[in-house]
Chain A
């Protein structure tokens, strides 16, 4: 696999946004260990894989596999870390055009080299394939 181009440590990867928000499709990406309940769980001790979440998924159909942060909020409402219902509501209100057909989430891992060299490029390609106008990234 071709090695991604390394950015200078002083470089900020900024892309100007030239649309109106009302015309923008949003893609949600999370590192909070979110997945569909019927999808394979993330390995809690460390997992460099990622999951694809369909754009029609509601928060009630999501589970979270992570033991590294407090679950007091997400056990009641996954929108606390993966606000898919809220984004859909903003689309109904025409604040944004809508959501992409796919969203993505990864779990906890301390294998930073594999995350950087494999997982992140895979997610970036998947996000590019979803053709969003903007990406909302959340953690836990």
Chain B
């Protein structure tokens, strides 16, 4: 699974499973420093792509506001 903050660029690489935390930027791919709950939330959403219906090539955007 890919966690990306560059969804358009990543889509060109045809990732089998990819998650884009909306609004996050490079250096902050999994959110705020020390925010274990948020970081694990994002990881679990990425892991969920393994067991979800296949959407190969799509970059799934999610809000974490």
Interface residues of chain A, those whose CB is within 8 Å of chain B, are 9, 11-17, 20-21, 24, 32, 68-74, 76-77, 79-81, 83, 85-87, 89-90, 95-96, 134-140
A110 shortest CB reach to chain B, Å: 14
State the CA gap A12–B43 with chains docked (Å): 22
State the CA gap A76–B33 with chains docked (Å): 6
Interface size on B, residues (CB 8 A): 32
Those of B4-36 within 8 Å (CB) of chain A: 4-6, 14-17, 25-34, 36
What 4 A-B pairs have minimum CB-CB distances, sorted nearest first? Answer: A69-B26, A77-B33, A76-B33, A12-B56
Q: Label chain B's interface by main secondary structure.
A: loop
Q: Pick from B33, B50, B54: contact of A134, CB below 8 A.
A: B50
With A12-B57, A15-B16, A80-B33 given, is the CB distance from A72 to B27 under 8 Å?
Answer: yes
Are B27 and A14 closer than 8 Å at their CB atoms? no
Interface centre among B5, B47, B56 (most CB of A within 10 A): B47
Are A80 and B27 closer than 8 Å at their CB atoms? yes
Q: Pick from A20, A21, A71, A79: contact of B39, CB below 8 A.
A: A79
14 examples of A-B residue contacts, CB within 8 angstroms: A11-B14, A12-B56, A17-B50, A69-B27, A76-B33, A77-B34, A80-B39, A81-B30, A83-B39, A96-B47, A134-B47, A136-B1, A138-B3, A139-B6
Are B30 and A137 closer than 8 Å at their CB atoms? no
Q: Label chain A's interface by main secondary structure.
A: loop
B33 shortest CB reach to chain A, Å: 4
Q: Pick from B6, B39, B56, B57: contact of A86, CB below 8 A.
A: B39
Closest to B41 in A: A86
Interface centre among B5, B6, B17 (most CB of A within 10 A): B17
Are A68 and B26 closer than 8 Å at their CB atoms? yes
Given A80-B32, A95-B44, 17 more A-B residue pairs with CB atoms under 8 Å apart are A12-B14, A12-B57, A24-B50, A69-B27, A70-B25, A70-B26, A70-B27, A71-B27, A73-B28, A74-B27, A77-B34, A79-B33, A81-B30, A95-B47, A134-B47, A136-B1, A138-B3
